[in-house]
Structure 1
Amino acid sequence: MAQPTLATLTQYYQPEEKLDSFATMNALLWLTAEQQQPIVHYWQLPQTVILGLRDQQLPALSAGLHTLAQADYHVLLRNSGGLAVVADRGVLNVSLFLPAHRNDYTIEAAYQLMTTYVQAAWPTLPIVAGEIKRSYCPGDYDLSIHGQKIAGMSQRRTENALVVMLYISINGNQDQRSQLIHHFYTAGLAGQQDDRFPDIDPQVMTTISAAQGSALTIDQAIDRFNAVWQQSYQLDHHHLKKLIEEPEFQAHLTHAYHDMQRRQARLH
């Protein structure tokens, strides 16, 4: 029996294209349902803090945003819950889209599927799932090595498709990323106590490169994921590039982009 096909797409966004990242996610979610086609989207943003919807409730949000601007980071408010995460050239975002009805996968099962794929990509590292409380954007399906977080996940669902979104720190200065978000929350809380926002300890986060004790590039990480997908799928690296140029996809992308534009107004 022929293996199902997994279409891949790799994109490196420029700062002025930051809204395209989540607009593309929404449009690909539509395409997954429309084509009944599993998709993996690899993407990166340079020097950007991606805020979650909960971050809007910081009592001194403008002060927090000022700390990010001073550090020369761009800011993006995503269209899902959770809290702030850092994107840069050492962080890889991996979004796995699956055609599925709402009851095909429980939320836990979808997270576990991605966890299994990450573990298979680095079989020699003891990667486990579970909340790392003093990391940034802590959640039940944080992925960690010896208590240090390397990745976090979120999900979005429609009636006929779902996406599991993973960010994974491959290389770079994780201490600096953690300190950046620590300063953001310190300023944004303005001395108030609020357990909805983490008291970040840089010691509880790391990168794959640091954990394995050897350098790893983003392209090498993508190759590892592709090797794992190939055990279950036939990979197609070309067809999706053509599909996203089609007028119908572009219409969905434009609509999603305008939604993201309107969302950003909440930061001003």
Structure 2
Amino acid sequence: MMGQPTIATLTQHYQPGDLLDSFATTNALLWLTAKQQQPIVHYWQQSPTVILGLLDQQLPALADGIHFLTQSGYQVMLRNSGGLAVVADAGILNVSLFLPADRQAYTINAAYDLMTQAVQSVWPALPIVAGEIKHSYCPGDYDLSIHGQKIAGMSQRRTAKALVIMLYISINGDQAQRSQLIQDFYTRSLAGQIDDRFPQVDPTVMTTVAAQLDQTITPQQAITQFNQHLATHGSLDTEWLPLVTTEPEFQAHLTQAFQEMARRQQRLPER
């Protein structure tokens, strides 16, 4: 990203019927990044959804857990990457940073460091650090936290000529309720079994940016702050990418990616 003259951005809010479009768009944008050699930032939000990771498929009573989630008012989807369950709703912002780069250009840790530094720059008053928060949901080495309370998690995907660092960050809302929801999901899905691959979620180890700032902040305000940070590394273009995504070639890649996501959902038990 550094040194590039232009950074293209796209902001989307997916409706309930567009459940699979978020990750399908990620796949299509990864192709576009490689083709155009263009840095891209994709901001997106989803209606109340629990996004399962690939490991969650191994839960012994997954159907019971999914039934609990749907009864609690959440859609459920299986993403095309590892990790574990996370929550998406109106208070959660997803930020995906796409970089045109071959596999050797950034190590996995270097790419995560790039996103970590971006989040730290957006909220310099907050002592944000990277490191696993064990009893959060979807714990990972590059959890972002403040005084031991997690605000964000990250994952990556790579192709030969591009990579994407995907961040979800809890901007506002009831993080204790989100955490309890995931803990209850695992309790039901494990059906009394003990399996250390799945977290024992403690709602007290997760928080939101708004709570840590002790002020009201919306995802849209967060997007503005991210864009201000990006503008220090190049000029922002908010118009090119929305137009490109309507073109036939991009739409063909989007359709293919959507079909792959739809097939993936067939792995989930009936509920």
- Would you say 1:33 and 2:15 are equivalent positions? no
In structure 2, distance between residues paired with 1:233 and 1:85: 32
Name structure 1 gaps, 5 residues minimum.
none
**1:151 CA displacement:** 0.1
Q: What is the aligned partner in structure 2 of residue 24 from structure 1? A: 25
Question: Counterpart amino acid of 1:51?
Answer: L
Query: How do 1:52-131 residues align onto structure 2 when only pairs under 5 Å count?
Result: 52-131=53-132
**Cα distance between partner residues in 1 of 2:230 and 2:243:** 21
Question: Aligned-pair RMSD on alpha carbons?
Answer: 0.7
3-state SS in 2 of match to 1:266: coil
Structure 2 counterparts to residues 115-194 of structure 1, below 5 A: 115-194=116-195
**CA deviation after TM superposition for structure 1 residue 18, in Å:** 1.1
Distance in 1 of aligned mates of 2:27 and 2:135: 30
Matched, 1:241 2:242: yes
- Cα distance between partner residues in 1 of 2:195 and 2:223: 38
Q: Which runs of 5+ in 2 are unaligned?
A: none
Q: Deviation above 4 Å: which 4+ runs of structure 1?
A: none
Cα distance in structure 2, aligned partners of 1:196 and 1:4? 43
How far has the Cα of 1:4 moved from its partner? Answer: 1.4
Inter-partner Cα distance in structure 2 for 1:120 and 1:77: 32
- In structure 1, C-alpha distance between the alignment counterparts of 2:187 and 2:146, rounded to whole Å: 27
Q: Does 1:13 align with 2:37?
A: no
Distance in 2 separating the partners of 1:3 and 1:209:
32
Q: Report the TM-score when normalising by structure 2.
A: 0.98
SS in 2 for 1:267: coil
SS at match of 1:259: helix
Match of 1:221, SS? helix
Tell me the equivalent position of 1:254.
255
Q: CA shift at 1:3, angstroms?
A: 5.3
Partner secondary structure for residue 49 of structure 1:
strand
DSSP-derived class of the 2:266 partner? helix
Deviation for aligned residue 1:248: 0.4
Output one character per residue of 1:145-196: Cα deviation in whole Å (capped at 9) or x when no partner: 0000000000000000000000000000000000000000000000000000
Aligned length: 267
Partner of residue 211, structure 1: 212
Letter in 2 for 1:42: Y
Please report the TM-score for the alignment, with normalisation by the length of structure 1: 0.99
